[in-house]
Structure 1
Amino acid sequence: MPDEDRTEGQGRLPDFEKGQIVALWQEFGHVAKILPRLTHPRSESTVRNFIRHYQARNSTRNLPAPGRPLKMNLRTRNRVFTDAKENRTQSVRQLWDNLAPEVSTRTVKRYLQKRGIRKWKAAARSLLKPEHAASRLAWALAHRHWTVGDWEKVIWSDECSVEKCRHGGQI
């Protein structure tokens, strides 16, 4: 069923509904009488267009989708998407190696971008050493009773600008 893979999200009727529409149309012959009897509500134009295509082709099968078939099937696409969401530190190359070696890494990256996932190389950061963690905890415990007024008096270095000359641009 590779054609059905391509049609995800394109408003195609499931086979059960196609059969239901054909049976009701053969019994009643009018779209207005078919609509209230459908299991899932459909617009009049959807039912009318389906019947028109059914009469022209004498078949409930959809025509093949235009264009080149997708390289990744639905199952692989779902696995890539799920794995990318669950393991955010994993690179596109690792996703490709583990889940979709039959396609290029660029195909995997394009699919993830289409689904709203942007993968990039994580910035290198130094690890927090035990003595740093201890000093941070001690500082937090020493300041845990501060009020909002106390915190408003603090100047945070990551929020200040440094002026080199009179232009005042942030550095």
Structure 2
Amino acid sequence: FFNKSASHKVTHDLPLHKSSCEIYRISMCRGKELTEGQKGGIITAKKLGHTPSEISRVIGCSRSSVLRVLATHESQESPKQRTGRPRILNESERKKLKFSITKNKNTRRQTLSQIRLNFINNNINISTRTIRKELAKENIHSRIQRHKPLISEINKTKRLSWAIAHEHWTVEDFKNIVWSDESTYTQFRTSGFGHVFREPSEEFHEDCIAATVRRSAGRMFWGCFSWIGLGPLVPLVGRVTAVTHCEILRNYAIPTDNAPVHTAKKARSFLTSSNIELLPWPAQSPDLNPIENIWSFIEVKIRQHDTQPSSIVQLE
């Protein structure tokens, strides 16, 4: 098992075994550290069935050195027994946990305490911290649920048709559009944030969003912008009607959504008489209007102040 070299004098070349493998006696001084080649020869000879005494005679080292090499080799090959407390959930049970949480909208909205109670009822003592860690291994985390308008199937079809119809519009086409809309701001933030368990790719999964509906509160503002820049931000005091809308539009060329005041006969007549072409707009599609990004920016700026507006006048 060792190559003959100038640094080793071969003093014995009788095989220890009838196999084609041969172990040569290599002269060495007592107490000298074994080379890696000698250690490999000891291990191989042991696998061939030779005793430690036979190996020590041929290698030219003590029997205790042979035993030490063999013991070290066996300890490295043998897997170490895991220490500490055993895992509460194995991989199969962790998969079942993931399935039980992601079954539907209600199961995704459980708290960690509720999930833990289910384990306790099945005689499994587990902490909420462990549950969180086990879910993380399955890439499931508690995240704030996204808010999205509740859209009917009919309007989903209309939205898709609108997108396909404008798929090939160029930047030059969109330069001719003035984007407008209304948005309501309140003195204090009123919308809450709920948490759901989901994977990163499930941000807008049907079970992970909170449907929103339109409501009136605080002060409503009308605004617009185009490729050229920002338009005015107009506070709307009192009830907004078609007449109010026409007054706003008198100096601006605006495409509008399907709010009643926008689609009223009086508003459409005004747009026609002013040679303003109305961009067709699918219902329940505020996300298609880029002005929504400006409304969000304004909301963030309002909430970044150290003190919130103390009145509607201050909000304006």
**Which interval holds the TM-score relative to the shorter structure?**
0.3 to 0.5
Please, what TM-score do these two structures have when normalized by structure 2?
Answer: 0.27
Higher share of residues assigned helix:
1
Higher share of residues assigned strand:
2
Larger radius of gyration: 2
Please, what TM-score do these two structures have when normalized by structure 1?
Answer: 0.43
